[in-house]
Amino acid sequence: MKPAAFSMMAGFRSLPGPFWVLWGGTFINRFATFVMPFLTLFMKRQGFTAPEAGYAVLAYGTGGFICSFIAGPLADMLGRNRVLAGALGLEAVMVFFLGRQSTFAGITALCFLAGLAGQGVSPAVNGLVGDIVPADRRLQAQLALRLAVNAGFAFGPAVAGFVAVHSYGVLFTVDALTSLTFACMALFFLPQGQTTARKHAGWRPALTALRHSRGMWSVLAAAVCCSFLFRQITTTLNLEVLQRGHAESTAGMLLSMNGLLIICLEIPLMAATSWLSLRAGMGAGVALMGLSLMLNALHGPVWMLFVCMAGFTLGEMITLPRQATLVVELSPPDMRARFAGFTGFAWVIGNMSGALAGINLHAWNPVVMWCLCGLLGAVAAAIIVFGHRDDRTVVPAGKAAPAGSDAVSAG
């Protein structure tokens, strides 16, 4: 394990300078991402009902879903840093005015626009990581980015809770300012990344490449199952906590434990499991996630809930960095943002179906719901490990494969 740990740390040190600019901006932005964690509380203080707050959350998600169709092609055509800066700048404007809105229509409209802008960040970031980080260091890069995301999310909301007591306007202003800071960093200190001509930047060439990439299809199918499992952590698991007679604070502690475990253990765990291939690691991790959720079917004492979350978090740490790395490996260089968009679509499908089916199944029969999670974990593991092993990048017909690569033509 020690040589693997030293190798992992050496990999971090060798990451290029622009990546650390991206890392710093990601941490700053995630530390002050306050809209979604505090939106329902903000609306409750304004006197709105829970269903009205739910519509605002839905508007935010709808905006993000629509952006998924736009951001990938734009990032491939205009450059990753420009789309990243534009998305962050527009989001900052929407969030700033959101904190000063008092009408339901105004809040809902600004939530939709904030989601529409904010979803443009992910394809641009993932595409840029693939462009600036060497292939043998991409797993370490994904680990470092997840550390920035989870560290920001673990500590930021705790500080924000104290600010929100005094003023939501100040809270959302800080959110907007950090987004603008990251936007300036992206525009002036990050490279443009690889771009493609306008006629090749649409979805049709990417869909053609995807159609011939059976390896990517297996990743997307597993991502739907994985996303379904993730949605239960913020929906049915909370219902399970209340159903067992525990307070909301128990649900909060479970989520906090998830973030703290990732911060403390993800890098050592990835070093310890570095002998696993990308697919084998993903399969083991998602199977562990499903099995951990299935433990809730036993309806045990409160400590069992924490065992469930600990197991789920271990599976998450093994799975997600490898999934992000594998998506980059399977993406044609000039389509990385759009292939990241395909992954985003898969996660949206899993999230939406997970929320709808999970809540209704739990209301009908919690045991069936948790057993379904175990089954989906096993199915996802089988798909990712045995579904298809050809992980060569597909290059659309008419394009030359990069020299020395193992890419194949889609012609």
248 pLDDT higher than 70: no
Tell me the C-alpha distance between 286 and 297, whole Å: 18
Q: Is residue 193 part of a domain?
A: yes
Tell me the C-alpha distance between 19 and 24, whole Å: 9
Q: Which long-range contacts (CB under 8 A, 24 or more apart) does 361-366 make?
A: 361/236, 362/236, 362/239, 362/240, 366/236, 366/240, 366/243, 366/296, 366/297, 366/299
Q: Which of 178, 198, 218 represents a domain boundary (last residue)?
A: 198
Q: Are residues 184 and 212 in the same domain?
A: no
Q: Are residues 27 and 164 in the same domain?
A: yes
Q: Are residues 130 and 245 in the same domain?
A: no
Please tell me the predicted confidence (pLDDT) of residue 252. 65
Q: Which of 198, 232, 253 represents a domain boundary (last residue)?
A: 198
Q: Is residue 62 part of a domain?
A: yes
What range defines the domain where residue 42 resides?
12-198
Number of domains in the chain: 2
Q: Are residues 206 and 192 in the same domain?
A: no
Kindly tell me the burial class for residue 135, based on how many C-beta atoms sit within 10 Å of its own C-beta (0-12, 13-18, 19 or more): exposed
Among the listed residues 82, 78, 88, the one whose alpha carbon sits nearest the alpha carbon of residue 33? 88
Please tell me the predicted confidence (pLDDT) of residue 378. 93
Q: Are residues 46 and 94 in the same domain?
A: yes
Tell me the C-alpha distance between 235 and 61, whole Å: 15
CATH code for position 90: 1.20.1250.20
Q: Is residue 232 part of a domain?
A: yes
Q: Are residues 208 and 133 in the same domain?
A: no
Average pLDDT of span 42-46 = 77
Please tell me the predicted confidence (pLDDT) of residue 291. 93
What are 359-384's pLDDT values in tens digits? 778 878 888 989 999 999 999 999 88
Tell me the C-alpha distance between 344 and 358, whole Å: 20
What are 71-101's pLDDT values in tens digits? 777 877 788 889 999 999 999 999 999 988 8
Percent of residues, the chain, with pLDDT higher than 90: 17
Please tell me the predicted confidence (pLDDT) of residue 402. 44
Q: Is residue 404 part of a domain?
A: no
Tell me the C-alpha distance between 368 and 373, whole Å: 9
Indicate yes or no: pTM above 0.85. no
Q: What is the DSSP code (8-state) at residue 150?
A: H
Q: Are residues 66 and 95 in the same domain?
A: yes
Q: Are residues 145 and 158 in the same domain?
A: yes
Please tell me the predicted confidence (pLDDT) of residue 158. 63
Q: Are residues 151 and 224 in the same domain?
A: no
